[in-house]
A = this chain, B = another copy of it.
């Protein structure tokens, strides 16, 4: 017997047929003797429609009213799934955020969960084997009004609920069947990871492998919630196959990963822009002069590289920003030219960031050197490098992206046989 939280996103509950498919997954777990709470998103398209209405009603609007409107989507799905489960003979009931309650802070529209009282849900699991169908993405704020968590918030609901009810695992059913060593569209030999450590997943998620919201992964890590990403779609046309649980990737503590590779995956992002400031005075406070105005303009700076130039008194400074912020960032820097005192500014959006990720790097030296060597052997020029304990990020010309990913994927033994 295990206690599970199962989460289904918008495409998994897009219509009544899909909701029935979801109910089959839930029933399978109940029949296997497990206890289950299910978190659902709004039907695909519903949230967009509701958000669109709030925007049409008024360009700037009260976040509390926005929350009241958009939370209705998950409410509908929760009720419909409860009805469907009951129809299949599974004891189930829907729960809205305010009923459990899922208490949040006062930041309507982007609320954070303060506390979930899991007691009643656990009691009903244990005494009646009742499945709790929980409306995702919403809670109740201190003002006794509905609050929502921002896009992807149902993942957060699922992970937080798993922590609150002491679940053995949180299953995120989605439209992919797990986390891959890299993008299979770039490297056909990419393979699904059986397990990936929380820290690795955080690096992958923020780098574009958008299987799971970064915030949910952080929460899973903080509470030690083992999170299993799997597909809800595999067996749509063969309901009887639901008896076979779909495979996926377990996101867990690195201690649980027995046979650990040095490198777990290769991520890439083309949504980067590079800005270089030439011949900046190498004096205290210059970094602040560059990056404070960017922070004030709400522009995220990612990689930062600073080189000493020939004569030692001047420096070159290179950093990356999201490509969509490139123009704005360039203007901000130009506006601070006097304060910074640089000689020239160059920039390009024609760059890509390749990241090599793996908790195994902690205990292996030379991983970065191998990467540089392999890329050099392919004639790929490295524009900038940053490293952390479990990640090496390399900025290159965008046209070399696929080649670089394939090269590194092979280099670290990730190609599937």
A58/B84 in contact, CB under 8 A: yes
User: Roughly how many angstroms separate A106 CA and B60 CA in the complex, as a whole number?
Assistant: 39
CB-CB under 8 A from A50, the residues of chain B are 76
Which of B54, B73, B75, B79 has a CB less than 8 Å from the CB of A66? B79
- Of A91-99, A157-165, A336-344, A376-384, the one touching chain B: A91-99
Given the interface pairs A62-B86, A68-B79, A69-B80, the reply to whether A57 lies near B19 with Cβ below 8 Å is yes
Given the interface pairs A72-B75, A75-B72, A86-B62, the reply to whether A80 lies near B96 with Cβ below 8 Å is no
Which of B16, B20, B69 has a CB less than 8 Å from the CB of A79? B69
Given the interface pairs A53-B16, A65-B93, the reply to whether A58 lies near B83 with Cβ below 8 Å is yes
Given the interface pairs A19-B57, A56-B16, A64-B93, the reply to whether A75 lies near B69 with Cβ below 8 Å is yes
Copies held by the complex: 2
CB-CB under 8 A from A111, the residues of chain B are none
> A87 an interface residue at 8 Å Cβ cutoff?
yes
CB-CB under 8 A from A144, the residues of chain B are 99
User: Roughly how many angstroms separate A78 CA and B99 CA in the complex, as a whole number?
Assistant: 20
Which of B58, B68, B76 has a CB less than 8 Å from the CB of A69? B76
> A210 an interface residue at 8 Å Cβ cutoff?
no
Chain A interface secondary structure, helix, strand, loop or mixed? helix
Q: Count residues of chain A with CB under 8 A from any CB of chain B.
A: 39
User: Roughly how many angstroms separate A54 CA and B84 CA in the complex, as a whole number?
Assistant: 9
> A82 an interface residue at 8 Å Cβ cutoff?
yes
Which single residue of chain B is at the shortest CB-CB distance from A75?
B72
> A151 an interface residue at 8 Å Cβ cutoff?
no
A48 CB to nearest B CB, Å = 14
User: Roughly how many angstroms separate A83 CA and B69 CA in the complex, as a whole number?
Assistant: 10
A24 CB to nearest B CB, Å = 13
> A145 an interface residue at 8 Å Cβ cutoff?
yes
> A61 an interface residue at 8 Å Cβ cutoff?
yes
Residue among A16, A66, A83, A98 with most chain B CB within 10 A: A83
A79/B98 in contact, CB under 8 A: no
User: Roughly how many angstroms separate A75 CA and B64 CA in the complex, as a whole number?
Assistant: 12
Given the interface pairs A75-B75, A87-B58, A145-B99, the reply to whether A65 lies near B82 with Cβ below 8 Å is yes
Residue among A66, A78, A82 with most chain B CB within 10 A: A82
B53/A80 in contact, CB under 8 A: yes
User: Roughly how many angstroms separate A412 CA and B42 CA in the complex, as a whole number?
Assistant: 58
A54/B83 in contact, CB under 8 A: yes
Interface residue ranges of A4-41 to B (CB < 8 Å)? 16, 19-20
A80/B93 in contact, CB under 8 A: no
Top-7 shortest CB links A-B: A58-B87, A69-B79, A68-B79, A72-B72, A57-B83, A61-B83, A65-B79
Q: A61-B83, A68-B75 are in contact. List 14 more A-B contacts (CB 8 A).
A: A16-B56, A54-B80, A57-B84, A58-B83, A61-B86, A62-B82, A62-B83, A62-B93, A64-B93, A65-B86, A68-B82, A68-B94, A69-B76, A72-B73
10 of the cross-chain contacts (CB-CB < 8 Å) are: A19-B57, A53-B76, A57-B80, A60-B87, A61-B86, A65-B82, A68-B96, A71-B75, A72-B75, A96-B146
